[in-house]
Amino acid sequence: MPHRTSQAITERIEALYGRPRTELEAHADATGHPSMLAALLGSLSAVEFAERDIAFQAERLRQLTHPDREIGRFTAGHLLDCARRIGEAVAVRDSQARHTTAVLQSLHRAPAPAEQAPATPGLPAPAPAASAARTR
C-alpha cells in the first residue's frame, strides 16, 4: 500500500508524463541512459523505501514496547536502535520528497504542437486530450 508522500509524488509524475507509472518505469528501463524520468523514478523509489523502513521500524518498536514484554538491558538497546532508524528514515524521506517535489514543481507539460512530433519509442502516442510529455 503506497504511503501519502510517495503516492502524491507518483500522481505528479504520472500527470507530468501523461502515462501510468508502470509504463514510465518500463520506458525508463528500456532507454538505458540517464534521463529526468529515470531520476524522478529513482527519487520516488528512495521515498518509498524510506516509508517502508519507517513502517517496519515503527512496528518493531510497537512489538518491543508491548505491555506484556519486560524491558531489559538488551531490549533498551533495541528500542534505541529502532528510534534512531525511524529518525534516519524520516530524514531521508523528507529530504528526497522535498527535492523531488521541487523538481516536479519546476516542470510542466507543454501544449501539443500543431504538428504532432513522432511518438517516443516504446510509448504509445498520447490521447489527443493529453499532450506529449515535454518539460521546460
Rounded to two decimals, the pTM is 0.76
CA atoms of 51 and 89, how far apart (whole Å): 7
pLDDT digits (tens, 9 = 90+) for 15-49: 999 999 999 999 999 988 899 999 999 999 999 99
Residue-wise burial string across 13-23, b where 16 or more C-beta atoms lie within 10 A, e elsewhere? beebbbbeeee
pLDDT of residue 131: 45
pLDDT digits (tens, 9 = 90+) for 72-116: 888 999 999 999 999 999 999 999 999 999 999 999 877 767 655
Residue 75, number of CB atoms within 10 A of its CB: 13
Angle at 132 between CA 128 and CA 134, to 5 degrees: 155
